[in-house]
Amino acid sequence: MSVLLPNMADFDTIYELEEEDERIVSEEHLARYCPEPVVMRGAGHITVFGLSNKFDTEFPSVLTGKVAPEEFKTSISRVNACLKKNLPINVKWLLCGCLCCCCTVGCSLWPVICLNKRTRRSIQKLLEWENNRLYHKLGLHWKLSKRKCESNNMMEYVILIEFLPKYPIFRPD
């Protein structure tokens, strides 16, 4: 904004008033106001390469008012069904690979590594489908993430339920 001053000495000089800097909404700025993500750890008794054989269907209290407990339980049950279908095969191949490991110089473990990767990808696709179907509309994002275990130095796969930042839609561009 330009203003002409009434003093004759400064007649030709144009000064700009310093306006309050508008805040630019960035991802970092919005992320500060989001709650911490909910971590769903594996609750099964068998873990193959960090992937547990099931997740607990107990509804976390943090999600109260965000998602219905029935929808949450249905989503976790779908993930558990995928794990129930795939992990027994992975365990059988792991045992077979361990028995033959000395003879094959470790190459017998490749099938179980590939099967575990396929299981992780199928869970990621399932979670992405769930996100597109329901959770993005509710301001949530589910993803499979690798985290360090709290009790030891091992890595495990957990389901992270992140809160999506709310964009100020009434703010002009």
Query: Over its length of 173 residues, how does the chain's per-residue pLDDT go in tens digits?
Result: 444 445 556 556 666 655 444 444 455 555 556 788 999 988 888 888 888 889 998 999 999 999 999 999 999 999 999 988 888 777 777 778 877 777 777 777 777 777 888 899 999 999 999 999 999 999 999 999 999 888 888 899 999 999 988 766 666 65
* Residues facing residue 121 across a β-bridge: none
Q: What is the DSSP string of 123-150?
A: HHHHHHHHIIIIITTTTEEEEEEEEE-S
Whole-number Å distance between alpha carbons of 53 and 119: 11
How far out from the chain centre does Cα 60 lie?
16
Whole-number Å distance between alpha carbons of 68 and 62: 12
Q: What is the pTM of this model?
A: 0.72
CA-to-CA separations, 160 to 35, 55, 91, 101, in angstroms, rounded: 12, 12, 25, 35
Helices of type H across 63-136: 69-99, 101-104, 110-130
Whole-number Å distance between alpha carbons of 51 and 156: 6
CA-to-CA separations, 108 to 48, 83, 86, 92, 118, in angstroms, rounded: 15, 22, 19, 12, 17
